[in-house]
Structures are given as structure tokens and as C-alpha cells.
Amino acid sequence: MAGQVELHGHRGARGLRPENTLPGLAHALELGVDALEFDVALTADRRLVLTHDLTVSAVTSADTRPAVPGDEDYPYVGRPIRALRLAQLRMLDVGVRRPAAGADAFTPTQLPLPGTRMPTLSSVLGLVNAYDADGVRLHVELKSDPTRPDLTPDPREFTELVLAELDRHGRLAGSALLSFDWRIVAAAHEFVPDNPRFALLEKATRHSVWLNGLDPRDFDEDMVAVAQAVGATTYSPDRVLVDARLMAAATARAMPVVVWTVNDPEEAGRLIDLGVSGIVTDYPDRMRELWARRGLALPAPVLRPSPVGSGASRR
């Protein structure tokens, strides 16, 4: 059998179900993934919610009604997550994609689930516990933009809040922290040195403001070295940045590379041949077919919990 390459469900399974939602995460678990990836942001009342955007996205969210009559913050779409309370964000419908114009890659394949609400991190961890998904690692991406301090909480406080919530639900040991803001990676290295830490990178974030003040020029533009210096255990770049040279640098430093977001099985195969350790995908179903063809170890599907009172047992 071929060596292990991990399969990571992106925002749950964004190509199949609404992203960063309980039904989307549950679907990824039931398909079978090695890691369940999702995004977390902080609200005005210091609650941790799942959302990819630091402002309420018109593509993934729609207003329904104000949380209270005459709410001056309503409508909520377009407002900063950090400026809204959980009760306000829970009024949003996040179960249907609404692309503004042009083609949207996910609308044709994503099952709409109208009425779905934005979940808290606590509710996600409750879901994972209900599924007894101990074999699935949780990849928690902390959404932070150091160029927009008005939208972004203090990175150390944010990291501590996420870690405390994971610990409260007994999921700290089985979790990894991810961020494009490498201040968070550095904080995670300090707070939980035994946990995996993913340094995310795309072309737009290849600057010291994103890299905890480190300058790539001081490392001869070797971003793997920069990631290692900041305290990352895994380098996780955009797929367009991955080539043989990068993989050689990662191999020389014994740094695993997990690449995102890969939805074409042919491209995934090429990246696996280059030596990546993991593929982040919106379509775990497509990648499972590729894994099977290549003889890669497939993560086991997680069974849906039996309804309370059914008398059935999963053990």
C-alpha cells in the first residue's frame, strides 16, 4: 500500500453542503476525512462563531429579521463580525449560497439547506462529541487580518479563547490551530507546544505584517524556514505556490506540507506525487475516489449518532 496522505475537509465539505455549518461538518464526518477544517471568528460579546469572513458575507449569509425590534445594526450583512452580538448573527440564514454575479463554482454542487444558522464553536464541539469522532482531528482556523485591526481581536487573547473552548469540551489534544496571521501561530506555539500548528500562506500574505514581523528576505525567501522560525509544525500554502523546489526545501527541514484548496483529482494526484502530506478539499467524495485508486489509506466514515431514545447502540 502507498504511504499515507491525509484528506482534510475544507469548511466541512464546502462543495457539497453549506460551509462552516453543522450539517456541512456532519456530512464531512460521515463521508470520512482525516481532519475537519473550519473557520472561527470572535463576536462583539466574545463568542466564538464559525465564519470565513470578518464581515458578514452576502454570498454565504442572508438577513431574515432583526434580533430585536428597531435594532440599529440591522441589516447585518456587510457588518463586521466583531461588531455584532451572537444573538444578531443567529438571525442570519447561512444555508444557501447567493453569488452576486457570474458563475459560482459551488452553487451547482452544494445542497442548499435554507434556515441553517451560524454555529458557535461550542455547538460544533458538541456535534463532534455526539459523533464520537475521536479519530478525526479538528483543524481550527482563526480568522485574523493584521492589516485590519478594526476587524481583528488581539491575537493572543483570541488564541487563548479558542484553546479554552477546545479544552472545555475535551478536544484540545485532538486539535490543530491554523492561521494566515502568524502571530497566532506563534501564540499557539507558546500556549500549546505539543499541538499541531499550521502556518497558512497565500501570495497576498507573504509580508512581515502577516508573518509575526519576520522578513522572508532574512531567510533567502525560504518560506518553509520562516514558518519553522515562527513555531509552525506544518507549512500550509495555497496550491499555486507548491512546486518541486518548495517540496525540496520542506523535505530538507522535515516540515510537512498540507496544500489547499484542491478540488481537481488530477491536480491532487500531481501534488501527492510531489510529496505533500495532506490535501485540503471542498469535495472529500472526489478525493476519496482518488485515494482508493491510488491505494492510499482511506479515513473511516463516522456513523451518524443514533436518535435519543431509539434504543440503538453504536458500540
What is the domain extent for residue 221?
6-55+119-294
User: What does the pLDDT look like over 9-33, one tens digit per residue?
Assistant: 999 999 999 999 999 999 999 999 9
Which residues have C-beta within 8 Å of that of residue 274, sequence separation ≥ 6?
Answer: 242, 243, 244, 247
Kindly state whether residue 217 falls inside one of the protein's structural domains: yes
Q: Are 37 and 315 in contact (CB under 8 A)?
A: no
Predicted local confidence at residue 100, as pLDDT: 81
Nearest residue to 283 via CA among 119, 95, 131, 108: 108
Q: How close are the terminal C-alpha atoms of the chain, in Å?
A: 29
Flag whether 282 is in a domain. yes
Asked whether residue 104 is domain-assigned, the answer is: no
* Integer Cα distance of 197 and 93 in angstroms: 32
CATH of the domain at 239: 3.20.20.190
Q: How confident is the model at residue 315 (pLDDT cuts 50, 70, 90)?
A: very low
* Residue 279 resides in a domain: yes
Cell of 226: 520562516
User: Rg for the chain (alpha carbons), in Å?
Assistant: 19
Is residue 254 situated within a structural domain? yes
Beta strands, E only, the chain: 6-9, 35-42, 48-50, 137-142, 175-179, 197-201, 234-237, 258-259, 278-281
Number of separate domains in the chain: 1
User: What's the average model confidence in pLDDT over 231-240?
Assistant: 98
Model confidence at 149, in pLDDT bands (50, 70, 90)? Answer: very high
Could you report the per-residue pLDDT of 124-140, keeping only the tens digit for each? 999 999 999 999 999 99
CA 139, 20, 55, 43 dihedral sign is negative
Task: Give the pLDDT confidence of 82-114 residue by residue, as tens digits.
Answer: 999 999 999 999 999 999 877 799 999 999 999
